[in-house]
Amino acid sequence: MKKQNLAKLFAFLLIAVLLFSQGAVFAENYATRDDIPEEYKWKLETIYKSIDAFNADYDEVLKDILPKIEAYKGKLKSSKAILEVLKLDDQMLMKYYKMNMYAKMRLDINQLDSEAAELSSRVGYLLVKAGAAEAFIEPEILSKSDRALDMYINSSLLKDYKFYLQKLKDKKAHVLSASEEEILAKLGDFAKSPEEIYDKLTLADAHYPYIIDYETGEVEFYNPALMRSEDPEERKRGYEILYSSTADMQYGLSQTLISEVKKNVFFATVRKYESALQASMSSVHVPTQVYDNLIDTLNNNLDSLHKYMELRAKAIGFEKIHSYDMALPMLPSYRMTIPYEEGKAMVKEALKPLGEEYISMLDYAFNNNWIDVYPSPNKYAGGYSWGQYDTDPIILMNYTDDLNSVSTLAHELGHSMHTWYAKNNNNYRNYDYAIFNAEVASTLNELLLSKYLINKAETNIEKIYLLNTMINNMRNTVFIQAMYAEFEKSIHEAIETGAGLSADSMKYIWLEILQKYYGDNYVPEDFIALWPLEIPHFFMNFYVYNYATSFIAACPISDTIYNGEEGAVENYLKYLKAGGSDYPVEILKKAGVDMTKPEPIEAFTDLFDSYVKQLEQLMIEEGLIAN
């Protein structure tokens, strides 16, 4: 993951862990952070040598740069003035993001660091001040005529800002009159209400899962073992308990989601977009065709997922799979133990097809404290890659000697290398890549690692384990996220077409999608209709499709690189180097993938299919299922 929308992603991961976890085991444990050798820890002084250096930047932004920016208000009447204010804005943003990163990194390695907490709150104050100071820039540029905007876009003076100005101009048709914009701006705070209420309900009012037997008065609390019980009634009860808190609040939760959808439709309509989907996609400069193509092409290729569900049923010995059977393990438990140094070597070997330059950069990352490797007391529990234009692209990990840790290492290195190539080949405005592009670089590394490990696995059992891990990863990241994307589109269309939306109609829409994706031998119970109410991403205005499209885009790229096809690595490096210098879909075309076309999605379902077939064959060979 790239460090963005962390809270939401963690809420999602928590649900994923509850439903799919195989149980993590902690290996290398250090009692204190001081016990961890220096080479496995960040060097924060590479960002700021001292607090004095941090304070100097802080004061410069607050007392010098912000007043200079504000002095341009009402004066953006020439290319020269626009250039000057944008340069000041760049300076301010670079310093702001660097300070923010420093404070957060310190907090993330020790959440009890009170000095870091104070720095972080000062940075928060600065953000408010900076936002207010620069707020006039974009509206003032957008108030110019189309002809004037074209002149700025083509001005040689503003060449570093060409694409930025072009993206700004793209918005112009949807900007309203000054007084209308003022009313919309005043709605801003109030428009956050559905999400705020949802967060309060799920984070504050939600209760620990339990059910009460009203006849006996007995209370039974959530117990994951129930969901793996041999008794189907117990499994079903296990799930009902898991969903109990959501069930108790289902009408309130549904209404918050309906309000969120109505809000999105309202803003899209007043801004003259054809749909809420179009409004959201155009804000990130991705055509809606990408979204529709994802759903339509997957819908045409669901056989692969149905076959997987059939194999799953065979493995657990049932004809039909009920929604309460999904936590039953398909395979005997298996664990690979991979200490960090071994994991590093594995990642380097697996990524060798990316060429010498890429591998030597990996060495540079390993040898220059980019990675904070091990868990320690009060450290943030998770993993991410994060970098700024003028810092190293660092990685936070909690490495625990298992396959998941090695995959995370490959994944986060994918993001860090992307950042490194992007910032070294672009000016400040053009370096930062879009969310749509971000997860391609990380997923590609995971795919190469997986191919490498499957190819060199020494036993059938190891290969079975690796294939099953990858298949689950593909199911969770692509199929399930696509189900969410389809649901999100349907509930918006229900409001847009006037069909209306209720708690019950949302359940119906979700169950139809679930049945379609999982196929005829899947039997959904009532509790599973509540699933969407546990997904905070539905308050992120068409976001989840990114997980699916990124993973899919990485599939054909990984194939060409793994097979050593001529030009594949060069094209991929062009993609990394492009950063955010063009529209996201165009940048992806540099790596040979067109996400408006069905082919990459078909390449994904073909890969999924071939993994399922290989898994089935090996399970037959090992006597885990009948032929």
Footprint on this chain of Zn ion (rule: CB under 5 A) = 1, 442
Choice between 149 and 440, CB closer to Zn ion: 440
- With respect to Zn ion, which residue has the nearer C-beta, 312 or 415? 415
The one-letter code for the residue type at 266 is F
Query: Closest CB to Zn ion among 194 and 387?
Result: 387
SS3 content of the chain, % helix, strand, coil (to 5): 70, 5, 30
CB of 473 to Zn ion, least distance (A): 12
How far apart (Å, rounded) are the C-alpha atoms in residues 27 and 476? 26
Scanning 135-243, the segments in alpha helix (DSSP H) are 137-142, 146-153, 162-170, 178-191, 193-199, 232-242
The nearest distance, CB 269 to Zn ion, in angstroms, is: 34
User: Smaller CB distance to Zn ion: residue 433 or 484?
Assistant: 433
φ, ψ of residue 211 in degrees (nearest 5): -130, 155
Query: What's the min distance (Å) between Cβ of 295 and Zn ion?
Result: 23
Q: What is the 3-state secondary structure (H, E, C) of 494-523?
A: HHHCCCCCCHHHHHHHHHHHHHHHHCCCEE
Q: In terms of CB distance, is 305 or 544 closer to Zn ion? A: 544
Query: Could you tell me the smallest distance in angstroms from the CB atom of residue 547 to Zn ion?
Result: 9
Of the pair 277, 395, the CB lying nearest Zn ion is at 395
Residue from 357, 320, 303, 397 nearest 574 by CA: 357
The answer to whether 521 and 310 are in contact (CB under 8 A) is yes
The answer to whether 407 and 443 are in contact (CB under 8 A) is no
Q: 545-562 vs 568-578: helix axis angle to the nearest 10? A: 140
Which residues have CB under 8 Å from 389's CB, separation 6+? 94, 97, 423, 428, 431
**Contact predicate 452/349, CB 8 Å:** yes
Q: 515 CB contacts (<8 Å, ≥6 apart)?
A: 522, 524
- Closest to 289 in 3D by CA, of 26, 594, 627, 623: 594
Nearer to Zn ion, 254 or 477 (CB): 477
* Cα-to-chain-centroid distance, residue 604: 19
Instruction: Check: CB of residue 509 under 8 Å from CB of residue 494.
Output: yes
Residue 479: alpha-carbon gap to chain centroid: 15
Please say whether the beta carbons of 345 and 553 come within 8 A. no
Cβ atoms of 462 and 334 closer than 8 Å: yes
8 Å CB contact between 573 and 421 = yes
Least CB distance from residue 438 to Zn ion, whole Å?
Answer: 7
Q: Which residues are catalytic?
A: 412
Tell me the pairing of strands 394-396 and 384-386: antiparallel
- Closest-CB residue for Zn ion? 1
Instruction: Compare residues 419 and 581 and give the one whose CB is closer to Zn ion.
Output: 419
Nearest approach, Cβ of residue 371 and Zn ion (Å): 15
Amino acid at 36: I
* Distance of alpha carbon 37 from alpha carbon 256, whole angstroms: 49
Question: What CA–CA distance (Å, rounded) separates 549 from 295?
Answer: 10
Residue 442 or residue 541: which is nearer to Zn ion going by CB? 442
**DSSP state letters, 451-511:** HHHHHH-SSHHHHHHHHHHHHHHHIIIIIHHHHHHHHHHHHHHHHHTT----HHHHHHHHH
Q: For Zn ion, give the closer residue by CB, 161 or 380.
A: 380
CB of 30 to Zn ion, least distance (A): 26
- Nearest distance from residue 412's CB to Zn ion, in Å? 7
Residue 374 to residue 400: CA distance in whole angstroms: 7
Angle at alpha carbon of residue 174, lines to 173 and 180, rounded to 5°:
120
**Cα–Cα dist 299/513, whole Å:** 10
Query: Which one, 1 or 116, has the nearer CB to Zn ion?
Result: 1
